[in-house]
Amino acid sequence: MSVYDLHAHSLCSDGTLTPAELVARAHAQGVRTLALTDHDTVAGIGAAGAAAATLGLELVPGVEISVHWETVTLHIVGLYIDPANATLQDGLAELLESRRQRALEIGARLAQCGVPDALAGAAAYGAGPSISRTHFARYLIETGCARDVQTAFKYYLGKGKPAYVPGNWATLAQALAWIDAARGFAVIAHPARYRLGNRKLNRLLGEFKALGGAGVEVVSGSHSREETTRFAALAVRYGLLASVGSDYHGPAVKLWAELGRLSPLPAVCTPVWQAWETARPSRALA
Ligand code: AMP
Ligand code: MN
Ligand code: MN
Ligand code: MN
């Protein structure tokens, strides 16, 4: 159990709870500090912050930015961002537009696979501005084309499958510049999920650190105990802070962990929240 959970999604992207419902559930699970980190949007932060204030929960404004780096898609979480920052908002607006274009193309590809009307079907699962492959996966399940989300990715939506359309994502340098402009802290989300070889992983960590990256998600709902230990050592070696996040998507989504249901950070790590807990007094004066 961790009282910090710094990675979670709402209906504004591919989560299934409203921001207020997400905050209420986090509070009920014993989380005291929650970051809302929707894919490429900050649309839910106002509502989440209002709900958190009534419960006495600390809401860390966040975002999970989609990045294309070398040959892979990476997710960079921005924590403690100013959601009103214009540089960040302009960057995210481009990503959301590219998501809309990509969704049109995914719909067309699925039609060729014999699944008509998938764009409208997928859109019905999202209330927010950030449409993703997860929404298409839910429609594929609804129409009986896939048994579960994993199967939808395996046969239709995953890389190299018939309805796969690459996103026109940000560069690593852009994502870090937007987060920095919004005075936030950049964290590499769920690093084990990219399945990078050692050389490539070290290149990523070196580049990320050189660009001003702050931390790595050492404890993730999708990490095994061994992966957590491995990334704790890497964070220390690269002088990066360590984050903790479930990557929660909703009660019906059996992907990763429940909110707050996370192991503690290994003792060798410096927690990422120290960054804003020490920065806070100077910000209040700014
Ligand atoms: P997108 O950002 O539109 O490419 O969609 C990526 C999202 O789909 C991720 O944030 C996950 O929530 C989900 N996802 C990706 N791969 C899988 C998978 N193999 N099984 C289930 N969900 C996945
Ligand atoms: Mn997601
Ligand atoms: Mn992610
Ligand atoms: Mn996520």
User: Which residue has the CA at smallest separation from atom 12 of ligand 1?
Assistant: 134
- Would you say the C-alpha torsion 93, 49, 276, 244 has a positive or negative sign? negative
Give the confidence band of 51 by pLDDT, cuts at 50, 70, 90.
very high
**Distance in Å, CA 76 to ligand 3 centroid:** 8
Give the confidence band of 62 by pLDDT, cuts at 50, 70, 90.
very high
Which pLDDT belongs to residue 256?
Answer: 72
User: Which residue has the CA at smallest separation from atom 4 of ligand 1?
Assistant: 133
- Ligand closest to CA 106: 1
In angstroms, how far is the first alpha carbon of the chain from the final one? 35
Would you put residue 247 in left (φ > 0), alpha (ψ -120 to 50) or beta? Answer: left
Q: Residue 77 corresponds to which tokens in the numbers above?
A: 């979480």
Pair 83, 111: CB distance under 8 Å: no
User: Which residue has the CA at smallest separation from atom 18 of ligand 1?
Assistant: 150
For residue range 25-41, what is the model confidence (pLDDT) as tens digits? 999 999 999 999 999 99
What is the residue whose two structure tokens read 């999970």?
64
Q: Residue 184 corresponds to which tokens in the numbers above?
A: 């936030």
SS3 68: strand
**Distance in Å, CA 193 to ligand 2 centroid:** 13
Spell out which residues line ligand 1, taking CB within 6 angstroms.
14, 39, 66, 132-134, 149-150, 153, 158, 167, 249, 255
Q: Mean of the pLDDT values across residues 61-72?
A: 98
Q: Which amino acid, 168?
A: N
**Distance in Å, CA 37 to ligand 2 centroid:** 10
Distance CA 201, CA 206 (A): 9
3-state helix, strand, coil in the chain (%, to 5): 45, 15, 40
Over its C-alpha atoms, the chain yields an Rg (Å, rounded) of 18
Atom of ligand 1 nearest to the CA of 249: 12
User: Which residue has the CA at smallest separation from atom 3 of ligand 1?
Assistant: 132
Give the confidence band of 229 by pLDDT, cuts at 50, 70, 90.
very high
Pocket-testing residue among 7, 95, 130, 149, ligand 1, by greatest number of atoms within 8 A of Cβ:
149
For residue range 153-182, what is the model confidence (pLDDT) as tens digits? 999 999 999 999 999 999 999 999 999 999
User: Which residue has the CA at smallest separation from atom 14 of ligand 1?
Assistant: 134
Q: Residue 120 corresponds to which tokens in the numbers above?
A: 């409208």
- Would you say the C-alpha torsion 113, 114, 120, 125 has a positive or negative sign? negative
**Distance in Å, CA 110 to ligand 2 centroid:** 20
Tell me the CA distances in angstroms from 96 to 73, 99, 100, one per residue in order: 16, 5, 6
- Ligand closest to CA 8: 4
SS3 184: coil
How does DSSP classify residue 191?
G
Q: Residue 266 corresponds to which tokens in the numbers above?
A: 């290994």
**Distance in Å, CA 5 to ligand 1 centroid:** 20
Distance CA 37, CA 111 (A): 31
Mean pLDDT score across all residues of the chain: 96
